[in-house]
Structure 1
Amino acid sequence: MTRSVIILFLLIVLSCKKDKWNDRNRIDDPALKKDLLQMISSNPDLSLFNTYLVKTGYDKVIASSKTFTVWAPTNKALQGIAPSIINDTAQLKRLIANHIANQSYLTTMPSPAIRIRTLNGKNITFTSTQIDEEHIISADQYTANGILHVVDGVLLPKMNAWEYLNSVDGLQQTFLQSLKYTGIDTTIAEQIGVDPQTGRPIYKPGTGLVELNRFLQRTDISNEDSLLTYVILKDNAYTDEKSKLVQYFTDTTAALTDTTTQWNVVKDLVFNGVYDADNLPAVLYSVKDSVKFHLDRTAIVSVQKVSNGIVYVMDHIDYELDSKIKPVIIEGERFYDLKDRTKASSVRTRINPLTHLLFRDIYIANHGINAFWINYKTVVNSVKYKVYWVAVNDFQTGTFPMRVAFKDPAVTGFPYKTVELNNYSEVYLGDYTTDHYGLLNLYLVGNSVTTNGLNTLVLDYIKLVPILN
């Protein structure tokens, strides 16, 4: 056999094998020749859903070359939809879009559940048998451009926690709405120049204006991608909380007192995660400030599942007051001002032999100034505090006195107290009652002599511990 005949024979054999391999892997499922719209329109039990797809324009969307997953409700399921939704184009579009998601999702994917963003921006929960609370009766139908599931119910778009709050009238909703203001979104504002002094962009007046809310900027309960538990207080419970807290947030005017008190009622009613009413943990810690709550299920008036979690309307809440009105710790090295800024200060890093933990303190010595002071500013509640310091004298053989003064370093405040040698413990200095909520000027004052070694200042921290009723 000639070489050319052998080569020709091998090519024929390989070609036959390739054809058999292709035949083996060829998928002849007719469904794969249909797109999602064609699959839906060919199913008589989905005719009503198909009608609404056409009415809202989503028929063209799911007939495109992109990949989608559709959870299509049966005709029976859709018959229960209120006419007010069907006859409102915007509401109907939101409804239909809530049944469609980008990409392909099979029932084998959840383990045990996944949250999926639909075309209307809401998230729905997908398991191997359900989508949100609706059952999948025909799953994983492949099409040319995605996956079709048939469901026995309608996926009504849920409000998020913020939307639900604003659908419920009450003192809490009224106060949170009062925190709205107009700000600038620099991503949509028109830039017209740059400030030569600061280098910051200059924007055209009137552009980029958006409505913002101070509460949402702190804790965004409108975020569709979050999972949270949120508490709305009935008016009687809201009023009770204001009455409980007002003594700790008394400000310089009645208006400021009221605003600050209400803020401290509402800011801690958000919890990370979703907690079922029948299985509430013994302790829940609020977002941001970790206030320690004990939510009583018997105080729950109503429950609302929302697109980003769950909302409880409650007529009573219980929390540990000392986790809301917290001690204030003023770190020595984080001062605001010095009596004489030309004088050198040192920050030391030490190990506390009692706790075996690192700590940092400020150390000022050999300054030669009578009653040298270090100024601190801190936010305090309107309450009586027990005051402590940790001041470690491990650098000289002799002791020296210091004192703490409030508002004015020349005012006595607490009497001088000797800083003993090698004392790493908290030392009680006395009680101090603040006259209003807000910023407090506090001073660490050195000995009223100019003698080096006797007018040294050293401080790890000052602690203010509130005395609560």
Structure 2
Amino acid sequence: MINNKVKYLLMLICSVALLSACKKQWDQRTAIANQQLNVTLIEQIKANPNLSTFAKYLTQTGLDQVLASSKTFTVFAPTNTAMQSLDPAVASDPVQLKLFISNHIANQTYLASGIQGSIRIHTLTGKNVTFTRTTVEDANITTADQYVSNGTLNIIDKTLPVKLNISDFVRSLTTVGALQSAYVKSQDTSYTDTTQATVQSLDPKTGKPILVPGTGVVKYNKYFKKTAALDNEDSTYTYIVLTDAALNTERGKVSKYFTTVTNSVDTTTRLASFNVLKDVAIRGMVKPADLPASLKSVNGVNVPIDQSAIVQTYNASNGIVYVMSAVNFAVSEKITSITIQGEFPSFFTRADRASLAQYRIRPDINGKTYNDMFLQFSSSTTLASFFAAYRVSGLNTCQYRVYLRAVNDTLFNHIAKPGNISQRITFGQVSSIAVTDAATGTLTATTAVNYPYQNSTPYNYVPMEYTGATAGTITANSTINVVGGMLNVTKLSTINMYLQAANSTTVNANNLLIDYIRLDPVIQ
């Protein structure tokens, strides 16, 4: 056996050897680091003869002074061979050249060796580039992570041209995709933000500020606001541009659902254009090799992808654009159902009865939670034909089948007989509401379409479909009527929908109960 003295000597020898090895490694590391930290980025670049062209342009644009500062940067320096691809028009334009060179410089220090997957980093142009352990954009990193006093240098085998973002690319189209480009530009607008404006003086009469003209103006695009921020460099999208013929085809499929009161062709075209183009933006960047048979738009609509219809691909600074000669959208996904939730009425027959409404959270027979509205009268508050009104907009010009869901749990709530709830749905113009009793504020609904009363028996969990209807008086300019038991919207409009209780003053005979009303368009 080894005695304690021998063990101690062996441990001491190992410790000395370990400390010696660690010190040697630390000294080597310090020597390397100190040697690199003695120079700036611009000095490191100029010291490499294979980067002389890039160094020349850094000096020519004044960016050499930036890389000589104490701030930290990450530089992607193309080799002389890579710089041969530079467009002479860019090289001869001081503004474009500086923008081009700036796209190879990022604020802060990023290490390729520390990247898991990929990251997007800001360059001095305000654009983003995609950076991985071995690449930046389409360029390979041939030498990575050269440490210097104010950042890191990566040598790459291709240049990094400044890319347009998706918005700028679409706006630049003049031939292919010209109609889509024109629509996007037509949605540009602005407003004045007084918090950002310069106050010139105060109006002596009103005391309101008088702003310096042109200050505080905020520009934005209504189409981007409703769909996707295609001008945002920090978001990534896959975007589809339709050729003029393809856009006309898709608009033609949905135009009949956007007939206006004035029969304005321009308005119909604009509304149909938005209906098509709201679903050509997809979140995230999907490269050509990864394209599936269909994608989901930002609105959850299926976007069929026929790769043979792709006529052009553009890699933008915030995603990718496919110009396509056909995208066969399903009309049923473009003209969709409208669901009116019962717990969100716009107003009631009498405002002073609104407090009677109970807004409940209930489990149905399958255990699924839903929200509804239940309104019950006492003997002192009961009103015949009482209604809850709902303002409905976004109706397309087509026929709708009307569904109502009311889960009648009156027995569970110990409501006296009759347990049935009799109610109906009616529709009328927004302007058809009039105050009929100035003293009480009672409103009367003059309706254009009256559906028959339906009985909801206790524990009725089945959605009820109105298959029959009685039409009211239809005027020549009416925008809704009833045909074959369906709601028929003939002009785009906003209407009032009423959930109307039985024409009775008997307690519990004229209650209201509603989960939702759904209007399903009939696609033809």
Greater shift in the superposed pair: 179-188 or 39-48: 179-188
In the alignment, which residue of structure 1 is the partner of 2:224? 216
Cα deviation for residue 205 of structure 1 reads: 5.0
Q: Is the 8 A contact 1:71 1:99 kept in 2?
A: yes
3-state SS of 1:448 partner: coil
Q: Is the 8 A contact 1:228 1:274 kept in 2?
A: yes
* Counterpart AA for 2:349: K
Cα deviation for residue 318 of structure 1 reads: 2.4
* Counterpart AA for 2:151: G
* CA distance in 1 between partners of 2:350 and 2:84 (Å): 80
* Counterpart check, 1:243 vs 2:252: yes
Within the candidate set 328, 336, 341, 2:338 is matched to 328
Within the candidate set 281, 285, 302, 1:274 is matched to 285
Which 4+ runs in 1 deviate beyond 6 A?
Answer: 192-195
3-state SS of 1:166 partner: helix
Q: Structure 1: 5+ residue runs without aligned partners? A: 1-16, 196-200
Cα deviation for residue 202 of structure 1 reads: 5.7
Q: Deviations over 1:404-457 (max 9, x none)?
A: 111153435211112222101110013211122342211111112222222211
Within the candidate set 57, 72, 76, 1:71 is matched to 76
In the alignment, which residue of structure 2 is the partner of 1:204? 211
Structure 1 residues 325 and 159: CA distance shift in structure 2, 3 A? same
* Counterpart check, 1:392 vs 2:446: no
Cα deviation for residue 192 of structure 1 reads: 7.6
3-state SS of 1:138 partner: strand
* Counterpart check, 1:351 vs 2:363: yes
Q: Structure 2: 5+ residue runs without aligned partners? A: 1-19, 433-444, 468-485
Within the candidate set 427, 430, 447, 2:502 is matched to 447
* Counterpart AA for 2:279: D
3-state SS of 1:108 partner: helix
Within the candidate set 388, 398, 408, 1:374 is matched to 388
Cα deviation for residue 84 of structure 1 reads: 1.4
* Counterpart check, 1:360 vs 2:371: yes
* CA distance in 2 between partners of 1:160 and 1:84 (Å): 21
Structure 1 residues 189 and 109: CA distance shift in structure 2, 3 A? same
* CA distance in 2 between partners of 1:299 and 1:278 (Å): 15
* Counterpart check, 1:178 vs 2:186: yes
Q: Is the 8 A contact 1:390 1:427 kept in 2?
A: yes
Cα deviation for residue 158 of structure 1 reads: 0.9
* CA distance in 1 between partners of 2:342 and 2:426 (Å): 15
* CA distance in 2 between partners of 1:276 and 1:138 (Å): 27
* Counterpart check, 1:131 vs 2:131: no
In the alignment, which residue of structure 1 is the partner of 2:67? 62
In the alignment, which residue of structure 2 is the partner of 1:432? 487
* Counterpart check, 1:422 vs 2:426: no
Q: TM-score, normalised by structure 2?
A: 0.80
Aligned residues: 444
* Counterpart AA for 1:178: S
Within the candidate set 344, 349, 366, 1:339 is matched to 349
* CA distance in 1 between partners of 2:310 and 2:493 (Å): 34
Q: Deviations over 1:98-126 (max 9, x none)?
A: 00011222221222222111111111111
* CA distance in 2 between partners of 1:52 and 1:394 (Å): 79
Q: Is the 8 A contact 1:193 1:203 kept in 2?
A: yes
Q: Is the 8 A contact 2:304 2:329 kept in 1?
A: yes
Structure 1 residues 227 and 333: CA distance shift in structure 2, 3 A? same
* CA distance in 1 between partners of 2:45 and 2:194 (Å): 44
Q: TM-score, normalised by structure 1?
A: 0.89
* Counterpart check, 1:316 vs 2:330: no
* Counterpart check, 1:403 vs 2:424: yes
* CA distance in 1 between partners of 2:318 and 2:100 (Å): 17
In the alignment, which residue of structure 1 is the partner of 2:520? 465
Within the candidate set 132, 147, 150, 1:145 is matched to 150
Q: Is the 8 A contact 2:279 2:301 kept in 1?
A: yes
Q: Is the 8 A contact 2:405 2:516 kept in 1?
A: yes
Cα deviation for residue 391 of structure 1 reads: 1.7
3-state SS of 2:384 partner: coil
Cα deviation for residue 263 of structure 1 reads: 1.3
Q: Deviations over 1:197-248 (max 9, x none)?
A: xxxx967253211332111223211111112100000000010111001112
Q: Is the 8 A contact 2:171 2:184 kept in 1?
A: no
Q: Deviations over 1:228-275 (max 9, x none)?
A: 100000000010111001112222231322221111121111001111
Q: Is the 8 A contact 1:278 1:297 kept in 2?
A: no
In the alignment, which residue of structure 1 is the partner of 2:435? none
3-state SS of 1:33 partner: coil
* Counterpart AA for 1:26: T
Cα deviation for residue 321 of structure 1 reads: 2.8
Q: Deviations over 1:58-103 (max 9, x none)?
A: 1111100111111111222223322211121211111011000112
